């Protein structure tokens, strides 16, 4: 097989760097587990909710009715019509959340609709009117780096006036761990490359918009099992942290040369259909176990049965491989 073109995003590249076999399962064979991760769905709803709030609310001040509205919506009630833009945005978010695995209306569940709405309202109260209003959200873009290799990605937000990438991160670690991960950070450097191409001028500033999703909730074994102790209610301001970092032209050049080197290796792997396994170190990272671990552990003849029973095929727009006929 000869690869004609490879279009890759950061997530795909990072997976290959973590474990080439994982890259093969997920992005070449396009396999994924049968159920969506609750944490990923919650994080994605926070992103979409913020986009809606920035678009709808401008510089409005939160109303007293908002808390009651959250209780009302979080208990599974049908939204009523209102003129308050924040409440309207929350209506929309609640309706979107109800279609997902976090659609639970149980008030004690950490990733419930109620907590999604409470978190977004706390964000609004903390920052609005916000001096940093992104003018673009979730901008998918592709940059051709060579004849064969392109880099693509979705930039969370772009603040044209600075200009800066506005990168929202939902994370359990909103402390020194969070700050230490801002630079170097290949993902954010890649967003600078995409945003620069989108705006037609260099973007070298990244504002990390950290949102904590830890410290509250009744996940099994959680230390904080009493809602009145949850940071979400007791100290909502501590749920948010913004930090600005910058990239030099040399950082961008270094990023580019490493990206091209690894993309050429990925092409070699695909053409030879040979993908090494980086286990065991890569099999459990960021407190989660690789979803392909059963495929790696079982005997070769069992792999098709496992794929049929535990996996589904789901295309991923972050990586396309075009091969010569
Ligand atoms: S289980 Fe480990 S070795 Fe297998 S694909 Fe996942 S990370 Fe790689």
For 110-150, write each residue's pLDDT tens digit.
Answer: 677 888 888 898 998 899 888 899 999 999 999 999 999 99
Distance 172 CA to ligand 1 centre (A): 24
Q: What whole-number distance in Å separates Cα of residue 108 and Cα of residue 93?
A: 19
**223 or 297, which is more confident?**
297
Q: How many CA atoms lie within 13 A of 137 on its CB side?
A: 15
Per-residue model confidence as pLDDT tens digits over 211-266: 988 755 555 445 455 666 677 777 888 889 999 999 999 999 999 999 999 999 99
Query: Is the distance from the beta carbon of residue 293 to the nearest atom of ligand 1 less than 6 Å?
Result: yes
Higher pLDDT, 139 or 105: 139
Residue with tokens 């599974």: 76
Number of domains observed in the structure of the chain: 1
pLDDT at 202 over 60: yes
| Ligand 1 proximity of 26 Cβ (cutoff 6 Å) | no
Q: Is 283 in the pocket of ligand 1 (CB under 6 A)?
A: yes
User: What pLDDT is attached to residue 155?
Assistant: 96
Any ligand 1 atom below 6 A from CB of 277: yes
Range(s) of the domain holding residue 264? 1-325
Instruction: Using the mean position of ligand 1's atoms as its centre, give its distance from the Cα of residue 97 in Å.
Output: 31
Q: Please state the rounded mean pLDDT for residues 94-106.
A: 78
Evaluate if pTM is beyond 0.75.
yes
What is the pLDDT of the chain when averaged over all its residues?
A: 86
pLDDT at 221: 47
Per-residue pLDDT, 79: 57
Q: Would the pLDDT of 285 be above 50?
A: yes
CATH number of the domain at 57, please: 3.90.320.10
pLDDT at 296 over 60: yes
Give the percent of the chain with pLDDT over 90. Answer: 54
Cβ of 88 less than 6 Å from ligand 1: no
**Residue spans of beta strands (DSSP E) within 200-279:** 205-212, 240-246
Q: Within 13 Å and on the Cβ side, how many CA atoms surround 208?
A: 23
Rounded Cα distance between 218 and 107, Å, is 10
Which ligand 1 atom is at minimum distance from the Cα of 18? 7
Question: What dihedral angle (degrees, nearest 10) is formed by the CA atoms of 211, 69, 67, 55?
Answer: 40
Instruction: Band the pLDDT of 81: cuts 50, 70, 90.
Output: low
């Amino acid at each position: 097989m000869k690869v004609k073109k490879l279009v890759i995003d950061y997530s795909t590249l990072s997976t290959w760097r973590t474990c080439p076999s994982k890259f093969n399962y997920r992005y070449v064979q396009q396999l994924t587990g049968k159920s969506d991760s609750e944490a990923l769905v919650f994080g994605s709803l926070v992103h979409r909710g913020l986009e809606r709030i920035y678009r709808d609310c401008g510089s409005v001040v939160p109303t007293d009715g908002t808390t009651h509205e959250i209780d009302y919506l979080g208990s599974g009630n049908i939204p009523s019509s209102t003129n308050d833009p924040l409440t309207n945005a929350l209506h929309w978010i609640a309706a979107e959340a109800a279609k997902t695995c976090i659609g639970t209306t149980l008030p004690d569940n950490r990733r419930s609709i109620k907590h999604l709405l409470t978190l977004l309202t706390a964000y609004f109260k903390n920052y609005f009117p916000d001096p940093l209003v992104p003018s673009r959200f979730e901008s998918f873009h592709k940059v051709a780096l060579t004849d064969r290799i392109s880099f693509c990605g979705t930039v969370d937000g772009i603040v044209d006036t600075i200009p800066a990438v506005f990168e929202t991160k939902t994370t359990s670690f909103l402390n020194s761990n969070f700050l230490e991960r801002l630079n170097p950070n290949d993902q954010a450097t890649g967003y600078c490359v995409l945003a620069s191409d989108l705006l037609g001028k260099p973007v070298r500033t990244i504002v990390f918009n950290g949102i904590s999703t830890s410290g509250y909730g009744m996940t099994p074994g959680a230390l904080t099992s009493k809602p009145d102790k949850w940071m979400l209610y007791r100290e909502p301001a501590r749920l948010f942290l913004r930090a600005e970092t910058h990239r030099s032209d040399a950082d961008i050049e270094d990023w580019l040369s490493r990206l091209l080197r690894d993309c050429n290796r990925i092409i070699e792997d695909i053409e030879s259909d040979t993908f090494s396994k980086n286990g065991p170190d890569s099999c459990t990272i960021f407190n989660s176990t690789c979803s392909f671990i059963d495929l790696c552990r079982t005997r070769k003849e069992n792999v098709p049965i496992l794929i049929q029973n535990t996996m589904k095929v789901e295309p991923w727009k972050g990586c396309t491989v075009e091969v010569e006929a």
